[in-house]
Amino acid sequence: MDRVVILSIAGFLTFSYAVADKTGGAAPVIREQPDNIIARRNDPATLNCAAAGATNITWFRDGEQVVTSSQDHRSHRVLLPSGSLFFLRVATGRRDSDAGTYWCVASNGFGAARSRNASLVVASISYDFQAQAEPLVKVRAGEGAVLPCRPPKGSPEPSIKWLKNGLEVANSSRVFVTTGGDLVFNRTVDEDSGNYVCAANNVAGSRESSPSELVIMNPPWIQQYPKNVTTASGVLIELECIALGSPPPRVTWYRATGRIPYGRSKIEENKLTIEHVVAVDSGTYTCEASNEAGSISANATVTVVDAPVLIEKPQVVKATGGSKTVLVCRVVGNPDPLIVWRLPTQNRTALLLPSQSNGRASVSKDGQILTIEQSTPLDSGVYYCWGISSGGGVSAHTKVMIVPGYPPPVIGVGPKNLTTAPGSIVSLPCEVVSEYATPKVSWFYRSAPGLAPQQILESTDNTRVSITINGALIIKDIQAEDAGIYVCSVKANTGKAEQDAILQINENSKEKVGRSLPAPPSKPQVTAINETSVHLKWLPNSQGTFDSMSWYTVEFWKYGWEKWQVASAVVKDESCIISNLKPGEVYTFFIRAVSNLGASFPSPWSDPFLTHPSGDFTTPSDLLYQAQRRLTRPTITLTGANITGPCSTLLTWQFLTNPEIIEGVLVYIVTDDGTINVATVLGSSSSSHHLHSLEPYTGYTFFVVPFWRSIEGTPSNSFALVTPEDIPMESPADVQFTVQENGSALITWSTLTVKESRGKVIGYQITLTHNGSQIAEAVSEPFLIISNLVLGRLYTVRVAAQTGAGLGPFSSPVLMDLGTDLNRQPHQRDSSRDISDGTSVLYAPGQQTWLIYLLVPVVLLLFAATLYYVRRLHQKSNLNTSQSPVVYQDPTTYPSHPSINMYSEHKLWQPSTFGNTTLSSIKLLPSDHQLNVYAEPRPRRVEEMTEPYATTSLLMQSSPVRCHGRGTHMRQFLSREGSPCVQVNWAAFLPPPPSYPPPRDLDLGDPKGQTKRVEDGPRLYAAPSEYDNISSSAKYRRPCDATSERSYYMYTQVPVSRYRSGSLTFQNNKVHNNSERLNRDRRPRRPTLPPYNNTQ
């Protein structure tokens, strides 16, 4: 204390002397004025004040002198040597507060000076906002919004700013902060959503309001609409409705009519799931999405068709070869389902329908029972039973194992070598395992090796020996003569087994305490690895202990072995791999647990396991199991079968589950007669298949089956339809006639089969032709009675069948001779035969007898001229070194006809593709040309590109005649003079002139004339014309072909008045069917048999 006073006095004196020395006797002057300051509580602060010539500076606050540390050492106010007032800490207590208005007074002996006022403000800010926004503010998009904010009280007044998700909000024309602190949105958008905080700040610190979440609401909209579902009953369906909006909308489901099935339906993540749907679940389901901004809804239609019900599944069958195997699969439904059995082969068409048999397996009439009379190992495999109807499909499968034979019995616990004392009791066990046959246990005794065994039998005389039910041999009161070899022999239908033990008698032997053997493990499960290796796994016995000193032994057996063999002697784990097996063999396995005490009883035998044949591709069993489990449920439905033509149908389908597990689809086509075809559609992205080459007017049943490798799933529902009609493929055969009285005749023919008619035959068309004139009749029955025919004339009869699609091909022509009316006078005119009366008269003969006498010499003269002309041509042809082209005749039309000599000039025909000329692209004789003249194509040089071609002129020879006799059927043609004969109408048999050049590869004979005559073959052969409807119906193009049009040419003879130079020619009468045009641009077909040269 004293030291402080002394220092203060010394300082004051020093300051006074200094001031006095500088002022030179003047009053002090304030050089530095104090400024207003703001300080936080407990922070240091300084009020500056400096004066020139002052000997003393005193500070005042609100009119009171400030007590400094020089006056009171407890004061936190310090007067600095410069005159400034320094606050060690700013106090704001009630008793002692530094806040106020300050000034300083500088004085000396000559006067005093006062500074200006300066305020000291102690900064402060409270914690509570006077006003702030709600924690959650919801606004529709596009509307305005205001987030209020009144900052906490503070000194100085706090400043305000707004933060969105931690970032400061910048003012704009749309969003700004008012002077009062409110955040204003003139128009809200989706991006305005977020958490907003009002932050107040001054020197004393900062405060933040409670966060306010601004939610910009948008009406909901549906991103994914629920899809319509058509499915079979019993499956699971899912209706998914994804809706978006702000805030996220709530999705609810309801049914338009009725209630959503309770207990079988659930809604998870906006998805409606209905399990085991039934027909009553069909209807309209609505999903409605709503939030505070609005709502929207969408509908989906569910159609459930009752599928067949499987009431009895086929059971697993294990049998030996030669036995009868029966599989039962009962399926019911409305409509009655089609039951199909799928056999275990790689052939996809290996299906059996009701009442069908493949020689080994047969199906009952109702399809519910499959029987294999004599089973063989080839019948082993997985059998599928499919029940299919328009409502859906069901599937069941079972495994059939046909083995050549069963394993022999195994001695599970057999007798062991034993040494015992006389008088004791001995028990030799012999417990047998035989799962497929009843074993018989017998005991035998040999006193020494090599001696014949003696069977031990129970008897009333020897009560010391007994055999228990489980096969153990018990000997009481052991004697010395009981020592020897005891053999347990087991026999069964499947084989035999033996195990022996040596019994020794020793008086010093002590009785051993029996110890239990290990407990047997569980039944082993066998899975294939490849053709020669399998994987076994099993479980230890839950009642036993398996320590490090124990192990397992695996034994196996296959057909042909007399006893079981050891596959693996020591296995430490509960699984192992057995290798070096033979492909295509059946093996059986069992496991024993082994310890120092011995081997356990055998485990249950494994199921017989067939190794894969050599080269057979195998798939890991776990993948097969997963695929089979997924494909067991219905995964596909057939949605449509649309007919696109008489021979084609478009099938469409829809997957009910994720198609990624599906490798492809099998399309099955079943005809009404039981024929089965299958088409494979690979890939899961396909949803349709176009079937071609179907038969018209045939009933078909279609269904599809998904598959993954060798696993086939549940079939879909079926579609049944009948393909449309087509024109008949064949003409009626066996056309016959019977001549009746008064120029009438009965014409009959055979009907067509359904396959030949390709539709329902609604009638027949019959044409009768004579000398270019023809009549046509239409009937609905396979016969025709026609009258008003001319006796003594030869008619050509042809018949064609007609369906709803059109008229088919005409039959081959048949000659009908009505005979001669001997009662009629030659010069008498029969008015009943007058053409003018409108009757069906084809030709009326002349009545002038003188004309006949005149024509006889004329005909003879023409005949002689013809012979002379033919001989000249023949001689001329012999001089020519080149050989004429071959002329063909169809010997099948009338084999008894004599050959017709036909000649042609050897000319070169220009190819249709050479240059731009059209000589070879048009007919030699137009359709309206009635003259039989040579075609004169432009000759070309031999070295030019040409096609061989020849035109012919038909010369009238002595016409073959037909003599009349008794009866009405056709007779052999004769050339005898003097008999009542009629002229043959050759125009009905010979083809018209060809319209196009022959094919390039047609053999026209040897140009050097070296062709030899074929003695044994037909002399002439005619290549069938593309449009010749007299021959086979194969010449008609089917409408199911891509560019087919049902039209053809019918060739008939021209009227007699158009004959010229004694030659015959032909005209083309185009017969239209349904106003369809003829396709003229067809080249003649290549002959199916090699041509023969008819020139010598």
**Beta carbons within 8 Å of 1041's beta carbon, 6+ residues apart:** none
**Coil, strand, or helix at residue 689?**
strand
What CA–CA distance (Å, rounded) separates 534 from 526? 7
Task: Please answer whether residues 155 and 126 qualify as being in contact, where contact means their C-beta atoms are separated by less than 8 angstroms.
Answer: no
**317's tokens:** 């069958």
Q: Largest Cα–Cα distance in the chain? A: 192
Report mean pLDDT in 10-residue bins for the chain, 1096 residues. Answer: 48 49 72 90 90 90 89 88 90 83 91 91 86 90 91 87 91 90 91 92 87 90 90 80 89 87 87 87 92 90 85 89 92 89 87 91 94 89 90 89 89 90 91 91 90 85 86 90 93 92 86 74 90 91 75 93 92 92 91 89 91 67 71 84 92 84 90 91 89 92 89 89 93 91 89 91 93 88 89 90 93 84 39 36 44 78 87 68 39 39 37 39 41 42 45 42 37 37 50 53 46 39 37 40 38 36 36 36 41 38
Strands 229-232, 194-202: pairing is unpaired
Residue from 659, 666, 662, 701 nearest 680 by CA = 666
The predicted structure's pLDDT at residue 963:
36
Whether 614 and 566 have beta carbons less than 8 Å apart is answered as: no
Q: Give pTM, 2 decimals.
A: 0.48
167 DSSP β-pair partners: 164
* Predicted pLDDT of residue 40: 84
Tokens of 1090: 């090699």
CA–CA gap between residue 250 and residue 231 (Å, rounded): 28
> How many alpha carbons lie under 13 Å from residue 1017 in its C-beta half-sphere?
12
Q: What's the rounded Cα separation, in Å, for the pair 382 and 385?
A: 10
Q: State residue 501's pLDDT score.
A: 93
User: Mean of the per-residue pLDDT values for the chain?
Assistant: 77
Contact 117, 123 (CB under 8 A): no
Give me the pLDDT at residue 990, please. Answer: 56
**Residue ranges of E strands in 929-1002:** 947-949, 954-955, 961-963, 981-983
- Residue among 377, 379, 342 nearest 363 (CA): 342
Q: What is the Cα–Cα distance from 422 to 862, expressed in whole angstroms?
A: 139
Strand pairing class (212-224; 136-140) = parallel
Closest by Cα among 596, 601, 607, 589 to 470:
601
Give the pLDDT confidence of 230-265 residue by residue, as tens digits: 776 767 889 999 999 888 899 999 998 888 888 889
What pLDDT does residue 851 have?
A: 66
Other CB atoms within 10 Å distance of the CB of residue 146: 13
- Residue 602 exposed, middle or buried by CB count within 10 Å (0-12, 13-18, 19+): buried
pLDDT at 320: 84
Report how far residue 665's alpha carbon sits from residue 880's, in angstroms, rounded to the nearest whole number: 69
Question: Which residues does 763 contact at the CB level (< 8 Å), separation at least 6?
Answer: 778, 779, 780, 801, 802
Please, how many CA atoms are within 13 Å of residue 539, restricted to the half-sphere of its CB?
A: 5
In this structure, are residues 114 and 105 in contact, taking their beta carbons and an 8 Å threshold? yes
CB-based contacts of 219, cutoff 8 Å, min separation 6: 245, 291, 293, 294, 295, 296
> d(Cα 951, Cα 928) in Å, to the nearest integer?
18
Tokens of 167: 């970032």
Per-residue CA distances from 223 to 254, 262, 296, 893 (Å): 19, 28, 11, 75
Helix/strand/coil (H, E, C) string of 142-195? CCCEEECEECCCEECCCEEEEEECCEECCCCCCEEECCCCCEEECCCCHHHCEE
What pLDDT sits at residue 598? 85
